[in-house]
Each structure stands twice: as structure tokens, then as C-alpha cells.
């Protein structure tokens, strides 16, 4: 595949993976679609073909199928990734390990991550890829651990309190029926359970 932008090539392979897995992608893409150029290049290079332009139908993805089958083998991928993680290798050694297994360290983590989708890859990233290329990720922003006040002495500094409403809180789900059958459970004397 010939793409000047490596991100466009990654997206193209993800599109082929989704088609190979049997997903349906609305085609043609609208003129204002941010990834329209990727689809046009895939079609121009013969990796995919529009349904209304190819006959017989089995020819529409022949080149795309060959390209994706050369790098995508989903059977056992999750177990392989977990084995890679258990090895606790440095990021550069993770890539060397993939190469030693005959796998492409750029494409394998991208294509075999079941949570990666072609339409959200650029915004959300990919879990497997982030792990394999951890040393190439932008540095994480670290918050200062202490806020320095300007007043010296007791009570002279400024106390800053941050309220982060965007942070997720762990929700606790209580099964009241199961809880009532637990040994030692004491039912409340007042009706303070909301069971609506």
C-alpha cells in the first residue's frame, strides 16, 4: 500500500481488517468525511472496490484480502499479547520480540487489538499499540505534588482546592435480594431502601 502519511496507512489497514471481519462500512463516504481520502486511495490502488462498479462480486476485495491476510491473523492474538505483557520487556525489546516472531511491530499491535476501530483510532488511540510503542508516546503531564503558598508562616499561604467533576467515581451496585440472604444480615428497622 502506498500512503504518504503513516497514519493514513494505519487507518487503511484497519478498514481492511474490519471489512475482512465482515463489518459493513457505508460506501461511498460523504464528501465531508475526515477519512474520505483514505477510502479514495484504497479504491484507486485496487484494495477495495465499490459494489456498483465490480462484477463478479467476489473480485471486489481480492487485492485487499491478500494485503490484510499477509499481516492479520486474529486467532490467539489476545493470548499472545498477554504473553508479551507477562514478559515485562522494555518497549524496544517488545518490538524486537514481535519481529523475532515474524510480526510487523507497527501493524500487529494495531490490527490485533480488538478495541481499535478505524473510525476512532486517531482520537482514542490503540491499547496494544500504546503498550508496544510506550517509549514513543508523548510524555504524560504530571501535576505538581505541592502547591506553594506565597505567605510564609502559619496560615499565610493560599490553599488551592480542585474539584474535578470529570473524574469517574466507582459506582457500587448492591443486590438487595442477595444481601438479604447473606448470613448475619440484619434488615434495617426503618424503610430506608429505595427499591424503585
Say whether 174 sits in a helix, a strand or coil. Answer: coil
Q: What is the pLDDT of residue 169?
A: 47
**DSSP codes of every residue in 152-171:** -STT-SPPP----TTS----
pTM: 0.60
Say whether 151 sits in a helix, a strand or coil. Answer: coil
Residues in the chain: 196
**Top mean-pLDDT range of 48-52, 133-137, 145-149, 190-194:** 133-137
| Percent helix, percent strand, percent coil in the chain, to nearest 5 | 40, 0, 60
Measured in whole angstroms, the distance separating CA 118 from the mean position of its chain's CA atoms is: 10
Interior angle at CA 9, CA 45 and CA 91, nearest 5: 150
Burial (CB < 10 A; 0-12, 13-18, 19+), residue 15, is buried
Q: In this predicted model, what pLDDT tens digit does every residue of 39-91 receive, in sequence order?
A: 889 888 888 876 555 444 555 567 788 888 888 888 999 999 999 999 999 99
Q: In this predicted model, what pLDDT tens digit does every residue of 2-32 receive, in sequence order?
A: 888 888 898 899 988 888 887 777 777 788 8
Q: Please report, for residues 169, 175, 188, 196, the alpha-carbon distance to residue 172 in angstroms, rounded to integers and kept in the order given.
A: 9, 10, 19, 17
Amino acid at each position: 500500500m502506498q500512503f504518504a502519511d503513516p497514519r493514513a496507512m494505519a487507518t487503511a489497514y484497519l478498514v481492511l481488517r474490519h471489512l475482512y471481519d465482515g463489518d459493513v462500512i457505508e460506501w461511498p463516504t460523504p464528501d465531508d468525511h475526515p477519512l474520505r481520502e483514505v477510502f479514495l486511495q484504497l479504491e484507486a490502488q485496487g484494495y477495495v472496490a465499490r459494489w456498483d462498479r465490480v462484477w463478479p462480486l467476489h473480485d471486489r476485495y481480492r487485492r485487499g484480502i491478500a494485503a490484510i491476510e499477509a499481516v492479520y491473523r486474529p486467532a490467539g492474538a489476545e493470548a499472545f499479547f498477554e504473553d508479551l505483557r507477562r514478559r515485562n520487556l522494555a518497549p524496544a525489546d517488545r518490538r524486537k520480540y514481535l519481529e523475532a516472531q515474524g510480526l510487523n511491530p507497527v501493524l500487529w499491535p494495531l490490527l490485533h487489538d480488538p478495541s481499535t476501530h478505524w473510525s476512532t483510532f486517531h482520537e482514542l488511540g490503540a491499547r496494544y499499540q500504546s503498550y508496544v510503542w510506550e517509549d514513543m508516546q508523548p510524555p504524560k503531564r504530571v501535576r505538581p505534588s505541592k502547591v506553594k503558598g506565597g505567605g510564609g508562616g502559619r496560615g499565610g499561604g493560599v490553599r488551592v482546592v480542585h474539584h474535578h467533576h470529570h473524574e469517574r467515581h466507582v459506582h457500587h451496585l448492591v443486590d438487595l435480594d442477595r444481601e438479604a440472604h447473606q448470613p448475619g444480615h440484619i434488615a434495617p428497622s426503618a424503610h430506608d431502601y429505595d427499591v424503585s
